[in-house]
Amino acid sequence: MSEIEERLMPRYGENQPITDGAYDRSLAVKCVNGTFVGKRSDDVIAYKGIPFVGQQPVGNLRWKAPVDAVPSDGVYEAYYYGKTPVQSPGDPASLYPMGEDCLYLNVWRNEASADVKKPVVVWIYGGAFEVGGTTDPQYDCYNLLKENPDIIVVTINYRVSFFGFFHLSHLPDGKEYRDAPNLGLMDQMMALKWVHENIAGFGGDPANVTIWGESAGGASTTLLPLIKGSHRYFKRVITQSGSPGQTRSPEQAIVCTEKVMEALGCTTVADLMKVSAGKLAEVWTDLYGFYQKLGIRTFPERDGNYLPLDPWMAYEDGAAKDIVVLQGCNKDEMNTFLGVVGVDVWNAWAEGRLAEKLTQLPHEEKALVESYCNSIEGERCEATVRLFSQIMFIAPQIRLSEAQAKVGGKSFTYYYTVESSLPMIKSGHASELSVVFAHPELNDFTGRAYDETFCKTMRKMWVQFAKTGNPSLTADQSPDGKAHQWPLYDTVEKQVMVLAENDIHLARESELKIVDWNRTYFLTRYNMP
């Protein structure tokens, strides 16, 4: 049994109704859909596995929009996580029992400082919209809440992969499944609605909610503000390595569906409904498995209904200018993928995807991309890992800052540079997660524990932003004893906060050369897949 399995399996159980009245009232919170009883560890109380829907998306509700919570006077345990969403193997969350009945959330609060309603932070996990779940030990919030008692954190599950983002409406019997391409986002919205209606009972302020995510979760936090009616549920966004460019067209989505249908021998949704979740996962893993093939094909769909046809244009038209954003990227984003899958799998993926991308470009733009790659010394993988870091994460983060600044919106922008001790990963994608969640012992991407004072200071910035809408710290507030005045990004100075392990400091983008404005920035016009 792996170390992660040893951490996860003792946590597994199924929450039961409490019918005999024997429970600690101080740990019970009455919500719309029942009273939920949590568990205390020191002064941190965790409420795990709370359903935020009225019915789980199983049976006839497979590939259907989430159902609103149903009022209940029952009392229920909230001791154990709900199931992990069905997915391909490889992610830590997949080591926990999986199921289609996965729409649950968890609430973490500290009993201290309870005189006023606390700011609420809602975490949305990453995993390329393919994998992930709140059961990942990384997202255990005990350490974070122990250190920062003045916030409440909610972690939410959502459907991923072929259950969360699957185009079906083109099939002969698919007209009733128009929501299927964006179900994962709809799940997130339903969870936010539940938080809005119930978080006050936990001591949270429903008028002061920040949504927070990384990778696919970060992309989600940039797409949710574009969904009609969403702004009532949150006022701030923390986006780590995600952007509104992480979407796909209906045509791109249909290609994926057709390959799955062919592999399964299915022609209709009715056929698909007869296929077990396990078989779907097996076929998907063979075609697009994230840890197996580095598929990176699953994204929310620009359908012109739930999401705009052009999310970038929506930002540039001011659709999210009233939402305050803290966002940024890591210096060596795609190096994590290189380190995880190895050079051979990386080269096969990168060269295939690059050839595919180049066919979309006019001759002049192809020449710019080739010039960029040729300017990078070392093995070929060094060039492609840098290029795809720019395409998928780095240039889009800067474009998001530019878009917000141009319409009078607010964006606090960072550039994370702390390097892993593991070969090839460097300052790679997701390597900051152990910092923001205060889990130095979970070092799959870091290889080591980072400087403790730096980590505390970065977390304090995130918490300060959730509390006030500004991540700046005075010397008294900052764990490192230094004042960190963090200005908004603007289109002239283009200042970003460099999150370096021994030197958190401001710098202009022109000094750092985060993007290649001539040879990579234009690629943000072309979408991720």
Active-site residues, by number, are 215
Structure tokens at 453: 């004072």
Which of 390, 239, 241 lies closest to 320 in space, CA to CA? 239
pLDDT band at 390 (very low <50, low <70, confident <90, very high): very high
Tell me what pLDDT residue 116 has: 86
Query: Maximum CA pair distance of the chain?
Result: 73
The predicted model scores a pTM of 0.96
Closest among 413, 456, 464 to 435, alpha carbons compared = 456
pLDDT in tens, 274-325: 999 999 999 999 999 999 988 899 999 999 999 999 999 999 999 999 999 9
Give pLDDT, residue 145: 97
Sequence-distant (6+) residues with CB within 8 A of 131 are: 87, 88, 90, 91, 93, 94, 160, 161, 290, 291
- The answer to whether residue 517 scores a pLDDT higher than 70 is yes
Of all residues in the chain, the percent with pLDDT exceeding 70 is 97
Residue 413 has pLDDT above 70, yes or no: yes
Give the pLDDT score at 357.
87
The rounded distance, in Å, linking the Cα atoms of 28 and 44 is 14
Q: Would you say residue 5 has pLDDT above 70?
A: no
User: How confident is the model at residue 423, as a pLDDT?
Assistant: 85
Contacts of 57 (CB under 8 A, 6+ apart): 63, 64, 66, 67, 100, 101, 102, 103, 159, 163, 183
Go through the domains of the chain in sequence order and give each one's CATH number.
3-525 (3.40.50.1820)
**Average pLDDT of the residues of the chain:** 95
On the CB side of 462, CA atoms within 13 Å amount to: 33
Summarize pLDDT for 133-149 with one digit per residue, the tens.
Answer: 999 999 999 999 999 99
Identify the CA nearest to 429 among candidates 333, 291, 499. Answer: 333
CA angle at 96 for the pair 62 and 269, rounded to the nearest 5°: 15
CB under 8 Å to 119, separation ≥6 — which residues? Answer: 150, 151, 152, 204, 205, 208, 209, 210, 466, 467
pLDDT digits (tens, 9 = 90+) for 354-366: 998 898 899 999 9
Task: Taking residues 174-193, report their average pLDDT.
Answer: 98
Closest CA to 52 of 148, 187, 145, 251: 187
For the segment 51-79, the average pLDDT, to the nearest whole number, is 98
pLDDT, mean of residues 220-228 = 98
